[in-house]
Each structure stands twice: as structure tokens, then as C-alpha cells.
Structure 1
Amino acid sequence: MPRHRHRKRPLMDNQIQLMRERGERLRQAARTIGITHAAKAAGVPYTTLRDYMNGGEMKFSSVAALARVCGVSLDWLAYGVGTPPASSSPLGSDAPPRGGHQAVIPWLDNRDEGLRISRTWLEKTFQQDGTSLRLLTVTGDAMSPTLREDDLLIVDTSHQHVQGGGLYALAIEDAILIRRLERRLGGGLRALADNERYPAQEVSAEEASQINVIGEIVWSGGSPHG
């Protein structure tokens, strides 16, 4: 008897329509903070986000992250139930919104516009208005596998005094380094890289006083690690 191959069942028209509607809601939400920025902040590849917005099948964890950074509920994103984004900024808008439901986190080096983000998410995540936050991208492999090249970081520049331990951005000559800093007895520091190829460094109290600590890394995001 001939063997029959199992074929993937075609999507029904109502399923296709539902996915398209979800994609349009996602597009609306992503535009409130900028589509490229939404992808970076949620750790979703831009091409994946584009497929979602065009009606492609969505991965729950990615959509949950996108809903969070865009400041909308999963119910609204999935089914249109609840409150939609309060405003939508056109792509290419040069002026960041003032007040309202959005905030802009600027780049540390003041390049480009910055990251448009939901003020609600900002306040819930960092318990502050965001004025001390700055954006930075990872360069090099010293913090691999925790942080990878081009991962997006948010630095709190109000946290420049190391207490206990944490992940910090340091200005060393013309470069910016990311290291785990641990406070040592006597006022010294221990600087650690997550990549085993980079040895730990012991910093005396006198040397520590000369280090320019930009701030503490309070958030990181990038493409999913595969």
C-alpha cells in the first residue's frame, strides 16, 4: 500500500486574519518607542519582529518581552482586549516626546536620538524617572558569555560608588570597559571579567580612587543566545 505523507494543515482564513491583526497591534505598540529600539530592548532580532508585524507566528516569550518594553498588556497584544498604546510616534521622528507616556534614554556618547521607552515600564523597572540612565553597547568579549558584542546596556550614572559588588562601566583612557567590581577590605577593588581568558585584577585603594566609574549596569538585552 502506498504510504501517505502527513502534510501541515493550512491555516484557516480566520486564523490568518487573527495573526494579521496581532501583527498590526504589535506594530502599533513598537512604534511608540521605535521599532528598532523595541527589538533591541526586548532582545528580539529585528527580522523576527518584522515577521511578527507582518502576521507571522509569534513565540510567546518574545512577544511577552515586547509587550513589557512597549508598555502594553499581553491581553491587548494577543486579543485587542484592554488599553492600547496612548500614542504612536512616526518612524523617523526627530524630536523625542516630552512628558506623557514615553521617556527617552539617551546614549552615553550622545549619538543618535536615544531609546524611546514606556514611562510605565521605566518606573516599574528602575523605580525612577530615568534622568540618570544612559545607553551603551558592549564591545569586545571580556564579559562573554554573560554579555556579547553589540548587546544593549542601560547604565545608571547615579551609582558610581561601589558598595559590595556589581557590574559597572568604567572609563579607562579612551575606552569603556565593563567589569564586575567587588569592594575589598581597606578600600581596594577586585575587577572581574566573565571570560576566563581575562584574569582578575586587584586594585589598591589608591588606584581605586583614580578609577572613573561611569555607573552601574542595571539592564542588558540582545539577540537570544543560541
Structure 2
Amino acid sequence: MSEAEKQAMRERGERLRQAAQTVGITHAAKAAGLAYTTLRDYMNGQEMKFSAAITLARVCGVSLEWLAYGTGEPQTSATSSLREAGNDDALVKAPARGGYQTVIPWHEAAGISEDGLRISKHWLDSTLPRDPAPLRLLTAAGDAMSPTLKDGDLLIVDTAATTVSGGALYALRLAGETVIRRLDLRFDGGLRILADNDRYPPQDIAPEAAATLGILGEIVWSGGVQHD
């Protein structure tokens, strides 16, 4: 690797650090589905996957062009509008007129009867630019996905995203329980089910079993108590 390439990676890492600090570094790692140590390595100038750059740009509310290449404006137009309104506008607790809010309901598997989480559409558009209709809430349980997820963290799952994209986090129904795991595609068409906690060994699923695996959806956001 040339010195110029190393310098470009260091500069990219510094831009990522600036962007992640605006939303909280731990939150940025969680929302992007990355281990905190991976995000730290990226910020320190180690090579970053382009797919990770896309996700981190979305999570931090900056343009991909600026984060990856240092060109263009740092903030997206949606993020600029949100920050001008103030951080308290990101999550709005009281009902509002004019269609400025949306409610993400709990997934029925959670067994919770509350209506759900009422959030600002500005926040949703800048953080999760996708159709809100299939979004559902879950709560992380246990330590299998530690340090990425902590017990009790709030999760948003996109129930329309059930096609496996290697390395992403998914909510699954296994043995009657709802669990969160990473899924990786195998060359034979099967799947590998992974926990981020090394205490939990990976599980390999044959192609025929993978076809009937109960995938509830992809985890597209997580939040909880800051742990860094």
C-alpha cells in the first residue's frame, strides 16, 4: 500500500470520527451493526469496507461522498434540517398535528401491548431512509451479541428485509424464541449463524434448513444506555 493510500485512509478515519462524535460513537457503532472495536479501528485509519461506509454515512447523517472521499458537503439536507431544529426534535414524545410523526409498533413476538415508539419523521428520514410501514420494535435480551448489543437495548427491525446480506444483524425465531444473530451466506447456499460474544459458538445451517429459517427481519437501528 502506498503512502498516499495510507494517508487517504487516515483522513477518512478522521472524517468518520467527526461524524460519529455528533451522534455518539457507541450509538454509531450500534446503529451500524458494528462492534465498537471495529468502528474504533476505522476511525484510527484502518481499511474500511465500502458497505460499512454506506451504513455509517446513513447512521451519522453525512453524505457518503464526504465520508468516503472528502468531497461535497458533509451533511445531508435532512440532517441539516434536523440539527437546526435541535436534538430534542429527534424523538418527540407528545402527539403532533400535520403528520410530522410516525409510530413504530412493537413486534407481536415481543408480547408488549403498548402502542409503540412515536418518533419524528425528520429523524426517521435522516437515520432510516426506508419505508416505515414494515418497521417494528424489539428488545435485545441476553449477552450473545455483546459488545455490539446490550441486554435491554431497543431495536428496530425491518420486517420486509428478510433476504440475507452477509454479516448483517437479523431477528430470528429459533426454537420458539426471538434471538438476534449475524447471518453469513455459505458457498453451498446454507447459512452460518453467528453471535458477537465468543462464548457462543457459530451454527451452520444446511441449504434446505436455511430456506425455512424463521427470519423476522434485519436489525436496522439499535439504541440504549451508552457504555463507552
Match of 1:199 in 2: 201
Structure number with higher helix proportion: 2
Q: Could you say what secondary structure the match of 1:124 adopts?
A: helix
Partner of 1:170: 172
Partner in structure 2 of residue 20 of structure 1:
none
Contact 1:97 1:103 in 2 (8 A): no
What per-residue deviation string (whole Å, max 9, x for no partner) do you get for residues 48-105 of structure 1?
Answer: xxxxxxxxxxxxxxxx99xxxxx97545549xxxxx96xx765xxxxx7686100000
Counterparts in 2 of 1:206 and 1:115: CA distance versus 1, 3 Å: same
Distance of 2:102 and 2:213 partners within structure 1 = 31
What residue number does 2:105 align with?
Answer: 106
Calculate the TM-score normalised by the size of structure 1. 0.58
8 Å Cα contact 2:171-2:219 kept in structure 1: yes
Give the secondary structure class of the aligned counterpart of 1:146: coil
**Aligned pairs, number:** 148
- 1:6 maps to what in 2? none
2:134: which partner in 1?
132
Q: Is the 8 A contact 2:93 2:119 kept in 1?
A: no
Shift of residue 163 of structure 1?
2.9
From 98, 106, 117, give the equivalent of 2:119: 117
Gaps of 5+ in 2: 1-26, 29-59, 62-79
Compared with structure 1, are the counterparts of its residues 197 and 106 closer, same or farther at alpha carbon in structure 2 (3 Å cutoff)? Answer: same
Distance in 2 between residues matched to 1:216 and 1:116, nearest whole Å: 20
Match of 2:23 in 1: none
Residues 103-131 of structure 1: CA distance to partner in whole angstroms, max 9, x if unpaired?
A: 00000026201010011221222222300
Q: Point out 4+ residue stretches in structure 1 off by more than 6 angstroms.
A: 96-99
Indicate the residue corresponding to 1:154 in structure 2.
Answer: 156
**1:184 corresponding residue in structure 2:** 186
Cα 1:165/1:158, change in 2 over 3 Å: same
**Distance in structure 2 (CA, Å) of the matches to 1:180 and 1:189:** 10
* Alpha-carbon spacing, 1:213–1:89, altered in 2? closer, same or farther (3 Å): closer
RMSD across aligned C-alpha pairs, in angstroms?
2.9
Change in CA separation of 1:99 and 1:172 when aligned onto 2, cut-off 3 Å: farther
Is the Cα–Cα contact under 8 Å of residues 93 and 118 in structure 2 kept in the other structure?
Answer: no
Point out the more displaced range, 216-225 or 203-212: 203-212
Alignment partners' CA distance in 2, 1:197 and 1:131: 36
Distance 1:206 1:120, change over 3 A: same
Matched to 2:103, the amino acid is V
CA distance in 2 between partners of 1:203 and 1:129 (Å): 30
TM-superposition CA deviations, 1:20-61 (whole Å, max 9, x none): xxxxxxxxxxxxxxxxxxxxxx89xxxxxxxxxxxxxxxxxx
Larger-Rg structure: 1
CA distance in 2: counterparts of 1:134 and 1:97, whole angstroms = 21
Deviations 1:1-36 (A, max 9, x none): xxxxxxxxxxxxxxxxxxxxxxxxxxxxxxxxxxxx
Separation of aligned partners in 2, 1:209 and 1:152: 28
Contact 1:190 1:201 survives alignment (8 Å): yes
Aligned to 1:23: none
